[in-house]
Amino acid sequence: MGVGEIKRAVFLDRDGVLNPVVMRDGSPASPRGLGEFSLTPGAGEQVARLREAGYLVIVVTNQPDVARGLLPEEDLAAMHRVLDQAVEPDEIRFCPHDDHHECACRKPKPGMLTQAAAEHGLDLAASWLVGDGYKDMQAARAAGVRAVLISADYNAQVEAPQRVADLAQAVDLILEQG
């Protein structure tokens, strides 16, 4: 980036965006190990498109199963190694806490986004968040970033400024709207 250029990012939720959710008891959930973890087809290509357009690509994901004792940190790290190697985001940030911890990093709070902005000198108003849930949309609003929701059967009731069918359409929208 040249001198004076705006530094902007696309924050990507992980589950439901870069990898499919796992349905448990009729609700969307995070994979609990490599056996349940797969990547959304074309995810690496879409991240590459964003990076080529000058966006920093940062994964921001809640992983409360770590705090709940259902996901060992080693298993989470293994999934993130696969994600990092295959998709090549600039950074992966995760919140290992549960709601009762009341941390600043767990979406819908904007902590992961605002901390990344402070560390990288990002202009949040020029940045985006792509997610699949209400916590993603609320975190985007709280951080002052534009948001797009990837539609799914489980999120039909989620209020979102913009909805698309998949990550490719989200990237198209971001590149069109800047």
DSSP class per residue in 18-69 = TB--EEETTEEE---SGGG--PPTTHHHHHHHHHHTT-EEEEEEE-TTTTTT
- Contacts of 103 by beta carbon, 8 Å cutoff, 6+ apart: 95, 97, 109, 111
Q: Mean pLDDT in the chain?
A: 96
Query: If pLDDT is split at 50, 70 and 90, which confidence band does 3 have?
Result: low
Average pLDDT of span 72-85:
97
Q: Which two tokens stand for residue 144?
A: 């002052």
Q: Using N-to-C axis directions, what is the helix angle for 73-87 and 43-52, rounded to 10°? A: 60
- Provide the pLDDT for residue 48: 98
With residues binned 3-state (H G I as helix, E B as strand, rest as coil), the percentages for the chain, rounded to 5, are: 40, 20, 40
- Provide the pLDDT for residue 171: 98
- Provide the pLDDT for residue 121: 97
The structural domains of the chain, with segments of one domain joined by +, span 9-177
Task: Please say if the pLDDT value at position 12 is more than 60.
Answer: yes
Average pLDDT of span 74-79:
98
- Quote the pTM value: 0.96
- Provide the pLDDT for residue 18: 98
Domain 9-177, CATH number (from 3.40.50.800, 3.40.50.1000, 1.10.10.10, 3.40.50.720): 3.40.50.1000
Q: How far, in Å, CA of 106 to CA of 49, rounded?
A: 28
* Backbone φ, ψ for residue 53 (5° rounding): -85, 0
Catalytic site positions: 13, 15
- Render pLDDT for 96-124 as a digit per residue (tens, 0 to 9): 999 899 999 999 999 999 999 999 999 99
Q: What is the CA radius of gyration of the chain?
A: 15
Task: Please say if the pLDDT value at position 170 is more than 80.
Answer: yes
